[in-house]
Amino acid sequence: MSAAVTFCDALLHAHGSLARKLDDELGTHHGLALQDFWLLRLLASAPQGLPVAALARPLGKAPSAVVRQLLPLEKTGLVQRMPGGGSGGKQVLLCASGRILAGEAAVTADAICAQALRGQPAAALDTAHALLQVLGTSPALEV
């Protein structure tokens, strides 16, 4: 097996372990699924909101799947869709209650991630972060 496949295999295993833990803790403490937390977190970083299409790639979903994910979040008052996302799309905005929930859930996620990475040198984390950013934005992974 190539080094690239071995790395990606380890990455997927680590992702699965981390996702299970985060999903469990976020659900238990905040009533929030991991995928919804990531969506709220993306919106929290964009005060003017984001078009649905801009949420699709970072969430690893098709735009239509993002719209389906948004529906219950809209009904519970965490997000709002407004006209103006460009190309006839909608702009998604984080509501005040969504911002509060995202902030509270971020504290939980931070504690879990910090515990999982405890003892790792900062330089190793910086290198891994840079590598993951390259992988996450690679044109080779466009669909």
What confidence score (pLDDT) does residue 87 get?
58
Q: Is the dihedral of CA 90, 46, 107, 63 positive or negative?
A: positive
Residue 102 exposed, middle or buried by CB count within 10 Å (0-12, 13-18, 19+): buried
% of the chain with per-residue pLDDT over 70: 97
Domains of the chain, CATH where assigned? 3-116 (1.10.10.10)
Q: What is the pTM of this model?
A: 0.86
What confidence score (pLDDT) does residue 125 get?
95
User: Over the chain, what is the mean pLDDT?
Assistant: 93
Rounded distance between C-alpha atoms, residue 107 and residue 141, angstroms? 31
Read off the DSSP letter of residue 61.
S
Written as one string, the DSSP assignment of 81-121 is EEE-SSTT-EEEEE-HHHHHHHHHHHHHHHHHHHHHHTT--
What confidence score (pLDDT) does residue 33 get?
97
Q: What does the angle CA 46 – CA 61 – CA 12 come to, to the nearest 5 degrees?
A: 105
CA–chain centroid gap for 123, Å, is 24
Q: Give residue-wise pLDDT tens across range 95-132.
A: 999 999 999 999 999 999 999 999 999 999 999 999 99
Phi, psi of 76 (to 5 degrees): -90, 5
Hunting for tokens 């929030």 — which residue is that? 32
What confidence score (pLDDT) does residue 141 get?
86
% of the chain with per-residue pLDDT over 90: 84
